[in-house]
Amino acid sequence: MLRAQAGDRGAFAVLFERYEKPIYNFLRRLGMIPAEAEEGTQEVFLKLWGRRAQYKPGGPFRVYLYRIARNHRIGQLRRPPMDSRRWLASRQGQGAVADPAEAVSLGELGGKVHDLLGELPEGIREPFILRWMQQLPHAEVARITGLTARQAEDRAAAGFERLASRLRPAAGRKA
Amino acid sequence: MTDACRRFRLALADGPLSDPHPTTCGACRQALEDAVRVRAALAALGEESPSPVLRRRVMEGVRHERASSWPRLLWLVPAAAAAALLLFFLVPGSGKAPPRSPGPAVPGPAPDVAVEATGPAPASPVPAVPLPSLDLPPIPAPVPTPAPQEPELVEGPHPPEPSGSEPPLRPSPPAETPVEPARTPEGPAFPPSPSLLASFEGTALASLTLGEPLQGPPGGLGSLAGRVVLIQFWNPDCAASVAQVPALAALDRRTKGQPCRLLAVFVGPGCARERVLEICEAGGLQCSVLAGGQIPGAALGWPASIVYGPAGQELFRGCLEEAAKVAEKAAQDAPRIWTGSTPYERLQGLARQIEKGFNPGQAAQALRRRLRATDPLERGEAARLLEALELHAAARREQAEALKTMDPDGALAALKELASDFSGDEIGTRLSAEARRQAADPALRAFRKALAEVDDLQRRLEALPSCKIHKQRGERRAQVACEGCRSLNEEVLAGLRKALKDLARRAKGTPAGDRARRLADSW
């Protein structure tokens, strides 16, 4: 990042190569449709480049990057109007798999997990996704989400509990 | 829960554990089983990949991004501070801490990483077209014009640098080639160009640095490979330059379809982009117009022209009339080079096959083999075709993705953008024809109409009065419980289903039609 900060586009390309997929998947799992997630990823990296002068080394770079992605997501949530594509997607339930082709490609289990993730409250979903899907340590999850380490641990655990309880076989599921 | 249990559960997300703790703790054993199940479920979601054109879009945005806007905005800092102070003293209670920026997260200490605020709009990804000052020391400074909109035209051709050498008005010897290969600060127009640059290393064309496009496709050195290139230097404030624009346009029209590429490089750092485009439009000039750039070699006044041969060698520099003759003659000779020798014949055949839907993987493989050829011309042409093939494939994917996300306009825009990337080329002509066909395609028109209908129904849903739910976020509107909304939802759904079925019938056999049918069936 320090090289990119100095204006090295090659270094920036390496950063993009490394974090493009994680950021895209992070935005997707937060409920964005593919086109939005792609646009979001583009915004995140262009913002990273545009404001590279403001980057201060001292913490892990990915925390900085995920914070930008998270801020983008929050900005997107605040945007009131919704175009017909997104509305069509939302017709089948919030965060549900809207595209039948996508549902087929995800398979039954994938589709179910997708829906379950969509049902998690926002405050739990983020730490859970960062911890369980992006495999970030609790300390980094806390810094990205602005929580204390303990809060991040508890929320990721709560997300895990909710998902696990829904995935248990019917006989073993708690009442 | 003991400390050991907590430690164990916190580490569950990290993967298989060697901790023996669950052997002695039933609850943790259960948690471990759950973790295995959750991990398997999350793995079923898989890792998705964004479309390959994302990289191109981002890197293009990065390339076109201006230098940091901070220095230009520094004056805002004292102004903002003064405004804040004023507000502090004038508005009662404004000295209190501002409310925390809203977001899904609960309050917690702000991290010590430098992060931008969530509020402001992101930096625009649309790259502004910079107007760099031309880095051509031997060229005389432009005539100072107080008002760029209505510049005063200067009579006659502009004189060259008094102390510099006269521009040679005769064909330059091809042996005089600059040492510096093409290494622009901005990089080549498209990333995979090292092989292409290598194929031209040492030639005059390779030491050419192209400026930013004001009009027409950027092209890059890849689009110049194996062609006769005529570069015209001109200045919109110079009467003689402006007078030559119609002649340039005529030459551009004459050389269409020939292996000849015309570039107009405008040199006038003080001139407005609009003025340049106005002149081009008035003169009917449709070729690429670049702002700035770097041409090595002798001093040039404007208007002046340089002609490069298909092998990258400089053929001529001087006045336009002579340059046009040289370029046209060279272009007439060029087809013999292209079709007479077997490598070019093969490559052209390959290009035609690519355009006809030839297996792209196989074509790319064949072209990569050509990159190892000893003949620099063959290498250059192979690189150009490979570049075209890659861009073509990427744009196809982008178009398919746009259609998949029910965005026929986006798909058409992607196709048009691609066609403009290759304008003047055979691929570009074909793509333009396809874009025209798609624009007039009744199925896609119907698809657009259906989408407009959806928008209309959505607007009606939003306009329903006296329902608190409507003040909530858009996603929730689909799940409202009030009577009025529910009935409208039904109405909207019925309308949509009908519109989509109609679309599926009319657009049968196209991706849009298939998608409409699937959506209609799924409801």
> B232 has which bridge partners?
B264, B305
Average pLDDT estimate for A84-90: 48
A76 shares its domain with A4:
yes
pLDDT for B22 equals 74
Q: Domain map of chain B by residue range?
A: 3-41, 130-338, 342-440, 444-522
Q: Report which of residues A109 and B335 the model is more confident about.
A: A109
Of A20, A71, A91, the CB nearest to B54: A20
A7 shares its domain with A74:
yes
pLDDT for B204 equals 66
ipTM value greater than 0.90: no
b/e map of B442-465 (b: 16 or more CB within 10 Å)?
ebbebbbebbebbeebbeebeebe
Of A9, A93, A145, the CB nearest to B187: A9
Query: Is A61 among the domain residues?
Result: yes
The number of distinct structural domains making up chain A is 2
Q: Is the pLDDT of residue A20 over 60?
A: yes
pLDDT in tens, B66-77: 443 343 444 444
Q: Is the pLDDT of residue A91 over 70?
A: no
**Dist CA B116 CA B95 (whole Å):** 23
Pick the residue of A46, A65, A68 with the most B CBs within 10 A to test the interface with B by mutation. A46
Domain of A138, in residue numbers: 120-175
A126 and B121 within 8 Å at the Cβ level: the answer is: no
Dihedral sign (CA A40, A41, A43, A44):
positive
CB B138 within 8 A of CB B299: yes
C-alpha Rg value of chain B to the nearest Å? 31
A70 min Cα distance to partner chain B (Å): 9
Residues of A in contact with B40 (CB under 8 A): 109
B58 min Cα distance to partner chain A (Å): 6
pLDDT in tens, A132-175: 888 888 888 888 888 888 888 888 888 888 888 887 776 444 43
Residue spans of alpha helices (H) in B236-288: 239-243, 245-254, 273-283
A52 shares its domain with A4:
yes
Pick the residue of A63, A64, A84 with the most B CBs within 10 A to test the interface with B by mutation. A84
Homologous superfamily, domain B130-338:
Glutaredoxin (3.40.30.10)
A47 min Cα distance to partner chain B (Å): 6
Nearest to B306 by CA among B438, B188, B174, B496: B174
Of A43, A63, A156, the CB nearest to B125: A43
The residues near B261 (Cβ < 8 Å, ≥ 6 apart) are: B219, B223, B224, B227, B228, B229, B230, B255, B288, B424
A149 min Cα distance to partner chain B (Å): 9
CA-based angle B302:B303:B306, to the nearest 5? Answer: 100
Of A41, A88, A131, the CB nearest to B54: A41
Query: Is A137 among the domain residues?
Result: yes
- Please report, rounded to a whole number, the percentage of residues in chain A having pLDDT higher than 90: 0
Could you tell me the pLDDT band of residue A122, with boundaries at 50, 70 and 90? confident
Which residues of chain B fall below pLDDT 50? Answer: 66-79, 86-201, 298-299, 335-343, 357-358, 465-466, 469-481
Of A43, A64, A106, the CB nearest to B122: A43
Q: pTM of the entire structure?
A: 0.36
> B104 has which bridge partners?
none
CB B273 within 8 A of CB B309: no
Query: Is A105 among the domain residues?
Result: no
A132 min Cα distance to partner chain B (Å): 5
Residues of A in contact with B401 (CB under 8 A): 34-35
Under DSSP, the state recorded for A129 is I
Residue spans of alpha helices (H) in B113-220: 194-200
- Please report, rounded to a whole number, the percentage of residues in chain A having pLDDT higher than 70: 78
pLDDT for B152 equals 33
Residues of A in contact with B494 (CB under 8 A): none
Residues of A in contact with B517 (CB under 8 A): none
State the DSSP H helix or E strand holding residue B215, giving kind and residue range, or none if neither. Answer: strand B209-215
A2 shares its domain with A76:
yes
A3 shares its domain with A75:
yes
Chain A residue nearest residue B116, CA to CA: A68
Under DSSP, the state recorded for B11 is T
| One-letter identity of residue B440 | A
Query: Is A28 among the domain residues?
Result: yes
Which of A87-96, A105-114, A145-154, B204-213 has the lowest average pLDDT?
A87-96
**Dist CA B125 CA B104 (whole Å):** 26
Average pLDDT, chain B: 60
